[in-house]
Amino acid sequence: MKIAIVCYPTFGGSGVVATELGIALADRGHEVHFVTYRQPVRLSLLNNNIYFHEVHVPEYPLFHYQPYELALSSKLVDTIKLHNIDLLHVHYAIPHAYAGYMAKKMLEEEGIYVPMITTLHGTDITLVGKHPFYKPAVTFSINQSDVVTSVSQNLKERTLEFFNIEKDIQVVPNFIDKKKYSNSFTDCQRSLMADDDEKIITHISNFRKVKRIPDVVQVFHRIQKEMPAKLIMVGEGPQKEVAERLCDSLGISDKVIFLGNSNEIDRILCFSDLFLLPSESESFGLAALEAMINKVPVISSNAGGIPEVNLDGITGYLNDVGDVEGMAANALKILGDDEVLEKFKTNARKSSERFDILKVLPLYENLYEEAYKSR
């Protein structure tokens, strides 16, 4: 099939999922066209089934806000016509489903029918989408999609709760590619980050408020009182400075390493002993899954879809949002005994295989076929 994928090209989970999906589809022989404003961060174009079409938004002084949706829908129309695209898959409802719908309608005027799959990722529903300013347009564009998927059962339920949705929503979870990790765990180079006796605790995110970054620091603060440990903070975002200041005021700055955005997530996770994800809301928690495939147990909140990924007492522990005492106690339960740590590491890796791409990709492919047939 010839598939156009619209996504955010950034380090965020929805962009990562869309990019990895496109790469996997291309490996399976599909022709994949990414349409977005910058080359997605995890995309290398070394595959002759992958194309990238950049959306340009010319600056014009009359506009207080430059009209990205308009430029995107026009680019979609051109790309779909030029490359005879069979199907459009948009990731993150805002504004992609809206722009996709407009492109579909313009193409229909010319007798071209292209089905649209919309994948809901999380904050497009739970945070931004349900805001009254956006809600009517988001509801409309979800209902106008030919197929709607959500990345967890919890996100499906939240979507049905917040919006008046007439469409069936299919749950297609985030995924990892197990075969990429078969040779890992041999050369982790942990000595680059910590002394031999120190445990390494890691957090990776976009440092937005929803991630509850101060809780990460508070949990670590309690852990390092009981055992030698380092905290590695990976990512960039508005709460990074807050975290730096908090580390300073708690006197733990020398034990916390801020690495910024990184393309070497697996290398970092390879030498990590524990992953922290205390989010306020999280539709799935791709970062937790990436930790688990790298044999890293997860201490997380029980928000949103996280319990579908991190299994309490098996791959890590779940606590209520904000319960930093409980999270720290559970972290110490795992880290305090090497045998227990090893058991959790093994469980994390094994459990992550539920989300192997070989299981998830066919779910998308089946939906594509159904949508294509029903044109």
- 28-36, 120-128, 243-251, 351-359 -> range binding ligand GMT (CB under 6 A): 120-128
Asked whether 122 and 155 are in contact (CB, 8 A), the reply is yes
CB of 122 or CB of 129, closer to ligand GMT: 122
> Residue 283, interface with ligand GMT (CB under 6 A)?
yes
Produce one character per residue of 253-264: b if its CB has 16 or more CB atoms within 10 Å, e if not: eebbbbeeeeee
> Residue 122, interface with ligand GMT (CB under 6 A)?
yes
User: Which of 208, 15, 4, 16 is closest to 89 using CA atoms?
Assistant: 4
The residue whose two tokens read 């590619």 is 177
Q: For the sheet containing 31-36, what is the strand order?
A: 50-54, 31-36, 2-6, 87-91, 116-120, 147-150, 169-171
If you count them, how many residues does the chain have? 375
CB of 115 to ligand GMT, least distance (A): 21
CB of 308 to ligand GMT, least distance (A): 11
CB of 18 to ligand GMT, least distance (A): 9
Question: Which of residues 72, 116, 151, 328 is near ligand GMT by CB under 6 A?
Answer: 151
> Residue 9, interface with ligand GMT (CB under 6 A)?
no
Contact set for ligand GMT, span 291-350 (CB under 6 A) = none
> Residue 5, interface with ligand GMT (CB under 6 A)?
no
Question: Which of residues 3, 6, 14, 156 is near ligand GMT by CB under 6 A?
Answer: 14
What is the Cα–Cα distance from 341 to 47, expressed in whole angstroms?
A: 40
Site string for ligand GMT, 41-80 (x = CB under 6 A): ----------------------------------------
CB of 114 or CB of 235, closer to ligand GMT: 235
Asked whether 118 and 369 are in contact (CB, 8 A), the reply is no
Instruction: Read off φ and ψ for residue 257, nearest 5 degrees.
Output: -110, 120
CA end-to-end distance (rounded Å), the chain: 14
Query: For binding to ligand GMT (CB under 6 A), which residues are involved?
Result: 12-15, 17, 92, 121-123, 151, 174, 206, 208, 210, 281-286
